[in-house]
Amino acid sequence: MTDAIAIVGGDAAGMSAASFIARSGEDAKVTVFERSGVNSYAACGLPYHVSRDIHDPSTLLVREPSYFTSKGIDLRLCHEVVDLDTTAHAVTVLDRVSSTSYTHHYDKLLLATGASAIVPPVAGGHAANVFSIRHYDDSIALVQYIEQHKPGRGTVIGASYLGLEMAEALRAHGLEITLAEGADHVLPAMDSDMTGLVHSELVDQGTDIRLGEPVVELEQGEDGSVCAVRTASARWECDLVVLGLGARPNIELASKGGVDIDVTGAIGTTDTMMTNVDGVWAAGDCVSSSHRVTGATVWIPLGPAANKQGRVAGSSMIGGSARFGGVVGTSLVKVFDLHVGRTGLTETEARRLGMRVASTRITADDIAHYYPGSTKTTVKIVADATTSRLLGAQIVGRAGVPGRTNVVATALQAGMSVGDLADVDLGYAPPFAPVWDPLLVAANRLGPMTRKAQP
């Protein structure tokens, strides 16, 4: 009998699942409901549309709807799933074009509802000149606003990786930028001793940084637009606000269907992306994952995991054996001319978990020092002081950062020790790396420290 598979959410996780099922040749009728007017948009590329590195936003649409239709997938754009009855195996769908609702029955359901940007619960948070960047339409709206209103002063709230990307994107339009962050350093997900270079880069590129005080009010002018930002002790004027405060998983539909929400606030699944409810799977930014270093349940919403989880869910829904093995929290960000990577645990995170930690921070040439274009890279490695097991790394430099970050991610997944990392046979040629790669320099420095466990 043909299975009726319903998928809620038409971006990375949802369309990966749909494509996997369609390619498998299994006898299944796949229907995808996407509440917006587009599917398969590259959210990670949105800041580069705002910055005008990418002029035509439609290039961010990875696949046309017709591609999926030709594969037999019933893709329904502008169709929002507004209710879920897991007993009746039915979803209620609102057609946002005709404003009519209907019931759709499924045998198997995938929730791939993603996440939504956090809007601060302060006055003015929803004003017309306050922008979140989460969906394809958001960057188009922001660019249109900038082109029409020609704002001179912008404030970015939140110095997360997205906040920094947006600060850079707005600078490209010539806006004066104030970056407001409640924590005491930019990129709060990194150790503070690794973010000084990032802070300096932002300042050098003309960003005014305000740290240590949350925004308490977005002051509105007579027309309702935000005209100033207030913290407990400061006030500054602005013409535009962009939020970089992170996101929350979209779990409302799951909750309506009795699907378990775990300690992270996201949907809990097995490694085949099954939820606790019979016939319901979940994948992408709406679910938690297992952390490969700590074994803990974490919510780290990033693109590669969403795509992989979508594939695994697709496989599992048609009886396949694929499994999602977890994450190590690898992320990369470009901040003007600086490249930043992190993977695994920071020192702060490891200490918070009660681990006995050893760490080292080194600065070394990123390629042979005599080769033209050589610059410095800073590497911090964190390890378990007792066992010498590698726990994580953070890297800041102008070249070679993604490759080195990914080497450590691989080492973390393999459960390597600091000594193992120091032994890795990394490639060397003057234009690409020094004979002692910065990773090896750091591992050699940290090795003896981990053998002498610090209290």
Measured from the CB atom, is 10 or 434 closer to ligand FAD?
10
Cα pseudo-dihedral 440, 445, 450, 455, rounded to 10: -150
- CA separation (Å) from 164 to 89, 140, 141, 209, 301? 43, 19, 19, 11, 17
Among 65, 120, 124, 301, binds ligand FAD (CB under 6 A): 301
Residue 168 found at the interface with ligand FAD (CB under 6 A)? no
Binding positions for ligand FAD, 233-272, rule CB under 6 A:
250, 253
**Distance of alpha carbon 15 from alpha carbon 314, whole angstroms:** 9
For the bound state, the minimum distance from the C-beta of residue 426 to ligand FAD, rounded and expressed in Å, comes to 24
Binding positions for ligand FAD, 67-126, rule CB under 6 A:
80-81, 112-115
DSSP 267: B
Tell me, yes or no, if 238 is annotated catalytic.
no
* N-term to C-term CA, the chain: 63
State the residue for tokens 């910055």.
51
Measured from the CB atom, is 301 or 314 closer to ligand FAD?
301
Measured from the CB atom, is 130 or 133 closer to ligand FAD?
133
Question: 211: number of CA atoms within 13 Å, CB side?
Answer: 15
Measured from the CB atom, is 272 or 374 closer to ligand FAD?
272
Residue 43 found at the interface with ligand FAD (CB under 6 A)? yes
**Distance of alpha carbon 427 from alpha carbon 400, whole angstroms:** 12
**Distance of alpha carbon 198 from alpha carbon 221, whole angstroms:** 34
Pick the catalytic residue: 44, 78, 227, 238?
44
Residue 195 found at the interface with ligand FAD (CB under 6 A)? no
Count, residues near ligand FAD per rule CB under 6 A: 33
**Distance of alpha carbon 381 from alpha carbon 422, whole angstroms:** 12
Torsions phi, psi for 139 (to 5 deg) = -70, -35
Which among 260-268, 297-305, 395-403, 434-442 is the span making contact with ligand FAD, rule CB under 6 A?
297-305
For the bound state, the minimum distance from the C-beta of residue 301 to ligand FAD, rounded and expressed in Å, comes to 5
Contact 310, 13 (CB under 8 A): yes
Among 5, 6, 7, 14, binds ligand FAD (CB under 6 A): 14
State the residue for tokens 């193992």.
420
Which among 7-15, 203-211, 223-231, 353-361 is the span making contact with ligand FAD, rule CB under 6 A?
7-15
DSSP 43: G
Binding site for ligand FAD (CB under 6 A): 8-14, 33-36, 43-44, 46-47, 80-81, 112-115, 133-134, 162, 250, 253, 284-285, 301-304, 306
Point out the residues that are catalytic: 44
